[in-house]
């Protein structure tokens, strides 16, 4: 009986340690050189137009290995990184915030009446503990996903979009 208890405890300990090894590990050095990383809050000028935070990650140089930037983790949220067509070395992560969001919910028995309803955002728990001025970039090198911590992310002035275009005379 004692042998069976010891065997079960040993199995539990081994499984516990293997789970720890599958956690995301941060790389000491990224295979790319990063410029000044900053973020900027924005608010639409019309009621219900939305708001959010954009984080900007300029890449100054990248190593010869095939590397693809994937996503960014910032202030408890994650976002896929995207580029602009004219700037393939400038990545943007976009996060929506709850301020100035349209809250109308259409309930109807007509099949197409509810198409404007927005799906609720589900907060997923990110696997990292970060300070407010830190973000983590995930990138794919070969067939492995790796993670790199960026510190001292600077906050730029918020953008408040106008409610209408300026008068042109």
**Residue 154: what pLDDT?**
87
Task: Give the end-to-end CA distance of the chain in Å, rounded to a whole number.
Answer: 92
Tell me if 89 sits within 8 A of 33, measured CB to CB: no
> For residue 38, what are the β-bridge partners?
56, 154
Q: What are φ and ψ of residue 60, in 5° steps?
A: -85, -40
Residue 18 — pLDDT band, cuts 50, 70, 90? low
Q: Domains (ranges, CATH) in the chain? A: 29-102+125-156 (2.60.40)
**Residue 60: what pLDDT?**
83
What distance in Å separates the CA atoms of residue 150 and residue 134, rounded to the nearest whole number?
6
Does residue 125 or residue 160 have the better pLDDT? 160
Q: Lowest mean pLDDT of 76-80, 98-102, 111-115, name the range.
A: 98-102
**Residue 31: what pLDDT?**
78
Residue 20 has pLDDT above 80, yes or no: no
């Amino acid at each position: 009986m004692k042998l069976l208890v010891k065997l079960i405890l040993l199995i539990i300990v081994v499984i516990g340690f293997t789970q720890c090894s599958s956690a995301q590990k941060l790389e000491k050095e990224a295979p790319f050189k990063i410029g000044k990383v900053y973020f900027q809050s924005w608010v639409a000028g019309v009621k219900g137009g939305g708001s959010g935070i954009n984080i900007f990650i300029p890449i100054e140089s990248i190593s010869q290995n095939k590397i693809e930037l994937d996503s960014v983790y910032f202030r408890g949220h994650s976002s896929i990184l995207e580029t602009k067509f004219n700037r393939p070395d400038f990545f943007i992560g976009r996060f929506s915030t709850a301020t100035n969001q349209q809250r109308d919910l259409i309930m109807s028995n007509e099949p197409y009446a509810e198409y404007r309803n927005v799906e609720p955002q589900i907060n997923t728990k990110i696997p990292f503990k970060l300070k407010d001025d830190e973000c983590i970039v995930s990138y794919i090198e070969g067939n492995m996903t790796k993670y790199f911590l960026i510190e001292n992310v600077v906050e730029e002035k918020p953008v408040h979009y106008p409610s209408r275009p300026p008068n042109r005379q």
